[in-house]
Chain A
Amino acid sequence: MTATSTNTDVVRGTSARRRRFPRHVIVFLGPALIVYTVFMVYPLLDSLRLSFFSDEGTFVGLSNFAELLPGGSLSSSFWNALGNNLVFFGFHLLIQNPVGLFLAVLLTQQLLKRGRGTYRTLIFAPTVLSVVIVGFIWQLILSPLWGVVSTPLLGLTSTALPTLSMMSVWQFVGIPMMFFYAVLVGIPDDLIEAARVDGANGWQIFWRIIFPLLLPMLGIISIITYIANLNAFDLIYSVQGALAGPEFSTDIMGTLFYRSFFGFQLQSGSTATGATVATAMFLVILAGVLIYLFAWVRRVETYEL
């Protein structure tokens, strides 16, 4: 993803005289393209198609989507889920990413020279754990019966969603940390030394020199977080179940989709409703990505170092 926005000038010369189409490119791209089309693009387009049909297979136009609007049968659950999704994203954007940045900055400090590798590995370790394991461990830690807190954090409507968000933040904070770290170590020392010679203090160096260089990465991390959070499902499902209690306070679009598509207990699954929710998810994510591309990427300056 990062590669696309830089080094475009290299290819400029080739368009001048038309060369024969390099056939070997097909061989290189073919397998990935076929696999991707069959397992990703086709199912995605097919679920878009399904959202315009009823369960019986008759074309119903946009009427499935009308159910999502106020007054429709899915409206309250859908907007509740979307709202919860955005809260879930908010926690990641405002806590996970700043904390990740903070950790990355700490890791590049001189005083941390010795334990750097160890800390980096430890902080990154939860990221590779299965979400089910993370959910289970935290459930035990937070259990009022055997755990360390007596407040039923996962059982109250007011605290359940923040608690789950923080579990996820704990697990994935290593990812923004690694991204930021990669940028930070790539910043040439001369820049910082020059600033220091000019009399800048640490705070000024960070905000005036390091932070502007981090901005493109901040955008990329934010959009990755956005996509991942709006697609979230596994943590909520493994900790709170598909009904995402208490009182649907942790219900997100992923769990809503699961219940409507596959059914739950006595609720029969509905391909039409499921596909509609999935399509709505896709559109919400697409909207976020477009905002990123047109409102963020165009304004942020990328510096060649």
Chain B
Amino acid sequence: MTRKIKWMAGFIALLLVAAACSSDSTDTTVAAEGGTETTVAADTGGATASGELVIESWRNDDLAIWEDVIIPAFNAEFPDIKVTFAPTAPAEYNASLQAKLDGGTAGDLITCRPFDASLDLFDAGNLADITNLAGMENFSSVAQSAWITDDGSAKFCVPMASVIHGFIYNADAFAEVGVEVPTTEDEFFAVLDAIKADGTYDALAMGSVDQWESATMGFQNIGPNYWAGETGRIGLIEGTEKFTDQQYVDTFATLAKWSDYMPDGYEAVAYPDSQALFTLGGAAIYPAGSWEIGLFNEQAEFAMGAFLPPVKTAGDTCYISDHTDIALGMNPATENSAAAETFLTWVASADFASLYANSLPGFFSLSNHEVTMEDPLAQEFLSWRGQCESTIRNSYQILSRGEPNLENELWAASASVLNGTLTPEAATVVLQEGLEQWYPPQQNG
């Protein structure tokens, strides 16, 4: 009898320990999401928009800019609306927003991730239909493409900003080594060779351990020139192009050549490391997204310039990744919908476009308004919109809906190509096979 009890007790104790441990991860995250928001004042007025608005966002880096610049500018025009910017950490945003929406404690305005994350929210009734909002006419169809239903019938977020890919270079280093800004691919690799031969600088400041840089600043940066921007992107979605086509193999083949010019041990160089390597003056070229401009201006003590992803031969049409990144939508459960709409219309205005673009150099307004940028590096990036055809990252619309997830596979494949553990051909086969597992337009033949 006692012996049995003894074993039962031991067993139960261990079971509970196991239970406690295995449910750990779920519990802590749920607890982290539980933090509630400021409750919204219920007394909305009549016709005049007034009340309190809370903005959900993942841009916690921008808190000061919202509080000191953007919201005061808005209040100068609409003094009766009190706006609070309430950001969460980027990595937790999607999960915590979902928890708040489910619990009915989410803010009135919701910062929108591009494509499916926001589309899912709209489909679940967590974003309001704002197709007819005053101000939506200020955006081109490309700008709106990330926050629209697949059939184009409803729009649910006001586009705020895009980010542009390219290369930022250390102008002092270029002068010292005696190289010019490259425009074609041959020139690009000649420049890299010259910098490498000189030996003072690492040629390319990039690592592959975090994987996303390999895909985002590598593959998606130079790729549009290979797959002709929108033509290739839409070709993949419609099934007329395949990842195994030559243009994608070539993109990976060019990317693979970068590894010779990256710092020693680049396989374990993380994103902040490569940023620091460049801003400390240790490397000559940084494969970039325009969002780096703010930080680089602050930290780098040398002259910087930017150049386009190089084209194959001089005179070719150039394509840039001008990626729709951030937008603002309305929570249909808001009790201050009039005030929220007033705010959204203001976000669509020329005032906001100029304010936002200049406060956050590197985040470019998506509206059709003329925006004067003061930052020279940001101006350089923005000027490419006039010279080149714009496109967005090809994995973002529709193609990352299934399992295996294309974006995740693309990260891993790009990093492996740079590490030399996957050939360019094999990388495209992995991506194509993943897509064929679930995406019907890619399945026939």
Contacts and interface: CB of A to CB of B under 8 A. Distances in A.
Contact of A47 (B23, B95, B263, B403): B23
Interface string A224-258: 10011001010000001101011110000010011
Contacts of A150: 264-265
A153 B408 CA distance: 22
A188 B277 CA distance: 59
A282 B18 contact: yes
A282 B17 CA distance: 11
A263 B94 contact: yes
B138 interface: no
Interface string B165-199: 00000000000000000000000000000000000
A40 interface: yes
A174 B421 CA distance: 37
Interface string B92-119: 0011001000000000000000011100
B412 A247 contact: yes
Given A41-B19, A262-B94, A293 B266 contact: no
Contacts of B264: 144, 150
B162 interface: no
Given A1-B14, A4-B10, A154-B268, A231 B21 contact: yes
B59 to A, nearest CB: 17
Contacts of B221: none
A286 B18 contact: yes
Interface in B8-23: 9-11, 13-23
B408 A155 contact: no
A62 B115 CA distance: 32
B351 interface: no
B216 to A, nearest CB: 10
A261 B99 CA distance: 13
A289 B27 contact: no
A8 B401 CA distance: 58
A292 B17 CA distance: 14
A145 B265 contact: yes
Nearest to B5: A8
A40 B20 contact: yes
B419 A155 contact: yes
Contacts of B266: 144, 152, 155
Contacts of B94: 262-263, 269
B411 interface: yes
B358 interface: no
Contacts of B300: none
Contacts of A154: 209, 268
A166 interface: no
A140 to B, nearest CB: 9
Interface residues of A, number: 64
Interface string B419-441: 10110000000000000010000
Nearest to A77: B404
B291 interface: no
B267 interface: yes
Nearest to A242: B91
Say whether chain B's binding surface is mostly helix, strand, loop, or mixed: helix
A39 interface: yes
A228 B29 CA distance: 18
Contacts of A243: 211, 408, 411-412
Given A1-B17, A241-B210, A266-B396, A152 B117 contact: no
Nearest to B12: A4
Contacts of B130: none
A5 B2 CA distance: 11
Contacts of A9: 2
B408 A146 contact: no
Contacts of B10: 1, 4-5, 293, 297
A189 B189 CA distance: 74
Contacts of B267: 144, 152, 155-156, 246
A266 B21 contact: no
Contacts of B6: 4-5, 8
A149 B273 CA distance: 15
B373 to A, nearest CB: 29
B120 interface: yes
A39 B27 contact: yes
25 contacts: A1-B13, A1-B17, A9-B2, A47-B23, A73-B403, A73-B404, A143-B265, A144-B263, A144-B264, A152-B269, A155-B209, A155-B268, A156-B267, A223-B14, A227-B21, A233-B25, A246-B211, A246-B419, A247-B416, A262-B94, A265-B212, A267-B407, A278-B22, A289-B15, A289-B18
Given A245-B209, A262-B29, A266-B115, 16 more contacts: A41-B19, A43-B30, A44-B22, A74-B403, A144-B268, A152-B209, A152-B268, A157-B421, A243-B412, A246-B209, A246-B421, A247-B412, A254-B25, A263-B95, A266-B396, A269-B95
Interface of A: 1, 4-5, 8-9, 12, 36, 39-41, 43-44, 47, 73-74, 139, 142-146, 150-157, 223-224, 227-228, 231, 233, 240-241, 243, 245-248, 254, 257-259, 261-269, 278, 281-282, 285-286, 289, 292-293, 297
Interface of B: 2, 5-7, 9-11, 13-27, 29-30, 94-95, 98, 115-117, 120, 207-212, 263-270, 273, 277, 282, 395-396, 400-401, 403-408, 411-412, 415-416, 419, 421-422, 437
